[in-house]
Structure 1
Amino acid sequence: MRAIEIERPGGPEVLRLRERPVPRPGPGEVLVDVRAAGVNFFDTAVRAGALAGVPGAEGAGVVAETGEGVRGLAPGDRVAWLTIDTHGGYAERIVLPVGKVVPVPDAVDDETAAAVLLQGLTARHFATVSHPVRPGETALVHAAAGGVGMLLTQLAKARGATVIGLVSRPEKAASAAEAGADHVLVSTGGAFAGRVRELTGGEGVHVVFDGAGASTFAASLDVLRTHGTLVFYGPLIGEVPTLAMNEIPRSTRLTYGVTEDYIRTPGEFAARAAELFALVAGGGLTVRVGGRYPLAEAARAHADIASRATTGKLLLIP
């Protein structure tokens, strides 16, 4: 089978297509034929650090073989998976523990399942647990034309909020508006603060969902109203912001959202994935695939996602 391998740390050019032996499932494992693999910005950190032989933490496909002791799954079943702590999805086939695999309903196609799982669970965690968005609130969503940002915008709107979406380029504004943002601002760094204050009559927003990194941290704090919440999920790559406790303004709350805390057990993962797929199947959440790449062009996908020029979710199609 073919797979993308990382032999040394580096840029997109270190992603190389290689032939590998077809893996076999052991006890409690399944072998899956990959139909679509998700490309996430975090994958670029995996590549830069050579943290995995084969990158890729999520995808969707069809069970090809089951290992000893597997119950509830059989060859031919459509599944999706999420392996945040391990990798291997940039391949034609992958072996997975059954606890990392969930069934995909007929109403959700393979590409949509691969595109929504990680980012959809992340967005639901942020909008329902990290800060349960309530009717009448105003939410500021960074990277509102990206995969997580577009889903967060839809979820916040469905829960009755007014959404201010931030995008880095003018050509991304239409995608953020299409997702439901009431106001779309084009901004980099912290330049958005004054305009957000104007839009909220000087009061500030109830919640900021900020995955943009250290460069926006101070401005995100600045635009929160008293007792507002900053859901920060940016310190995955690059500089990590620091703050003394006595520097937190206006009795605001800070939280660092981690998706693993939302799906701590196989049971939680299965239940929340089923809820997510039902939301998609029922039309309550629209998933946008922003780019499809052959497996051999994984390097181009990484270059594109790092450029910040893409919108929606990027997929590799083996």
Structure 2
Amino acid sequence: MVKAVRVHKVGGPEALTYEDVELPHPAAGEVRVKHRAVGLNFLDVYDRTGLYPAPLPIIPGSEASGDVVAVGEGVTEFRKGDRVAYVARYGGYAEERNVPEKVLVKLPDAIDYETAAGMMLKGLTAQYLLRRTYRVQNGDTVLIHAAAGGVGVIASQWANHLGATVIGTVGSADKAELARQNGCHHTILYREEDFVARVAEITKGEKCQVVYDGVGKATFPGSLDCLRPLGMFVSFGSASGPIEAFNIGILGQKGSLFATRPTLFTYIAKRSDLLTMCEDLFAVVGSGAVKIPVTRTFKLADAAEAHRALEGRETTGSIVLTP
């Protein structure tokens, strides 16, 4: 038996129940990981509320770090005692779990457990957004919504490191200061300012090559008006609710724009891609060019409290749960 947090019925934070669960010996191709830290993400909220339907009951949590304590038959890349981290749908909110070998990566000595748990999903998301979905170049101007959030803080630093001019939207003056400390050249208080008008002002009417939007409903279609002709709109999250169906012709009217809705799990489906992306992420973090601010830590048993803080926009940067 191990302790875990499960969702038996979708709902609010109270739907998260801390309980005992059976954990069998790792099956063939599986590795048992004793968690040291588990990342908290809006993806977990979507799973808990049913926005992303899943067969119940589920154990939320899609990124974590820890130590290998057992391996199943046929496992060749890992052995007991290895420091590891992973991104995998469901299962993270637990003291221990069995993980398919193909999703695990070895953790460099220079990266601690909490940093790893705070950056696997969010950091790899930033990696594919900036290096694969739209490859940010020196001299680009990029708009990042929720720039003080988990992905936003990482993406802003990384885009700055790549030589882009980074504009970030935030919800408060405190978050604006945090965004500036983490790579944003310009910040926009979206509750007080018209972000479309401010982007036009900041860029002297040139607008942006790309908009990275993890907010969703509240920032669409305004995000499209922040793009120059042939610009790329990248929708990667729905913190304010999903974007509803729209007339695709609007992309032509606003300048032959591109729009995409990528997901991390498509980008890491091939192990070779996962390893390449992790190598890139570990390199920029290891060099100090991108820092992973773990701003709050909650006990695993207090996952409901952590969800309330996340949904209440009370958090910035990366939040982790510790068993």
Structure-2 residue corresponding to 1:104: 107
Q: Which whole-Å deviations, capped at 9, do the CAs of 1:265-286 have from their partners, x for residues lacking one?
A: 1222123212211221121210
Match of 1:263 in 2: 268
Q: Distance in 2 between matches of 1:88 and 1:275?
A: 25
- Alignment-mate amino acid for residue 45 of structure 1: Y
Partner of 1:280: 285
Post-superposition CA distance 1:55-76 (Å, at most 9, x none) = 1111000000011111121111
Out of 129, 141, 145, the residue aligned to residue 142 of structure 1 is 145
Contact 1:42-1:237 at 8 Å conserved across structures: no
2:300 to 291, 295, 301: 295
3-state SS, counterpart of residue 110 of structure 2: coil
The one of 41, 56, 59 equivalent to 2:61 is 56
1:171 aligns to what SS in structure 2?
A: helix
Residue 246 of structure 1 and its aligned partner are, at CA, apart by 2.0
Aligned to 2:171: 168
Distance in 2 separating the partners of 1:101 and 1:195: 43
Structure 1 pair 195/237, CA: closer, same or farther in 2 (3 Å)? closer
Q: 1:311 to 1:235 in 2, by over 3 A?
A: closer
User: Is the counterpart of residue 314 in structure 1 residue 315 in structure 2?
Assistant: no
Query: 1:97-120: per-residue Cα shift (whole Å, max 9, x none)?
Result: 100111001011111111111111
Distance 1:190 1:206 in 2: 21
CA drift at 1:216:
0.7
Could you tell me which of 94, 98, 101 is aligned with 1:95? 98
CA gap 1:161/1:307 in 2 versus in 1, 3 angstroms: same
Q: Which residue of 2 aligns with 1:40?
A: 41
Task: Give, in whole Å, the separation in 2 of the partners of 1:189 and 1:24.
Answer: 54
Deviation larger for 46-55 or 20-29:
46-55
TM-score, normalisation: structure 2: 0.94
Change (3 A) 1:194 1:300: same
Aligned residues between the structures: 316
Is residue 24 of structure 2 the alignment partner of residue 23 of structure 1?
yes
RMSD: 1.6
The code of the aligned residue for 1:64 comes to V
- Contact kept in structure 1, 2:220 and 2:243, CA below 8 Å: no
Q: Per the alignment, in what secondary structure is the counterpart of residue 173 of structure 1?
A: helix
Aligned to 1:70: 75
Distance 1:231 1:220, change over 3 A: same
Deviation at 1:264, TM superposition (A): 2.0
Q: Is the 8 A contact 1:42 1:236 kept in 2?
A: no
Q: 1:3, 1:121 → 2: CA distance?
A: 25
Whole-angstrom CA distance in 1 between matches of 2:197 and 2:280: 38
Take 1:72 and 1:261, find their aligned partners in 2: how far apart are those partners? 23
Residue pair 2:215, 2:241 contacting (<8 A) in 1 also: no
Comparing 187-196 and 197-206, the one that deviates more:
187-196
Paired with 2:166 and 2:239, the residues of 1 have a C-alpha distance of: 25
Mapped to 2, the partners of 1:119 and 1:108 lie a distance apart of: 15
Q: Cα distance, 1:235 vs. partner?
A: 4.4
Larger deviation: 92-101 or 22-31?
A: 22-31
Give the structure 2 partner of residue 199 of structure 1.
Answer: 202
- State how far apart, in whole Å, the 1-side matches of 2:237 and 2:194 are: 18
Could you tell me how far 1:23 is from its partner in structure 2?
Answer: 2.9
Q: CA deviation at 1:250?
A: 1.1
Cα deviations by residue, 1:123-155 (Å, 9 ceiling, x for unpaired): 111111211111212111100001111111111
Q: Residues 214-253 of structure 1: matches in 2 within 5 Å?
A: 214-235=217-238, 238-248=241-251, 249-253=254-258
CA contact 1:113–1:277 (8 Å) conserved in 2? no
Alpha-carbon distance change, 189 to 238 in structure 1, aligned in 2, over 3 angstroms: farther
Farther-moved stretch of structure 1 (240-249 vs 212-221): 240-249
Partner residue, 1:210: 213
What is the alpha-carbon distance in structure 2 between the residues aligned to residue 36 and residue 133 of structure 1?
A: 31
Q: 1:172 to 1:22 in 2, by over 3 A?
A: same
Name the aligned partner's letter for residue 41 of structure 2. N
Contact 2:28 2:74 in 1 (8 A): yes
Q: 1:120 aligns with which of 118, 123, 141?
A: 123
SS of the aligned residue for 1:4 comes to: strand
Q: Deviations over 1:1-58 (max 9, x none)?
A: 2111112111001111112233310111111100001111010111112735211111
Q: Are the structure 2 counterparts of residues 31 and 189 from structure 1 closer, same or farther at C-alpha, using a change threshold of 3 Å?
A: farther
- Within 1, Cα distance between the matches of 2:120 and 2:301? 23
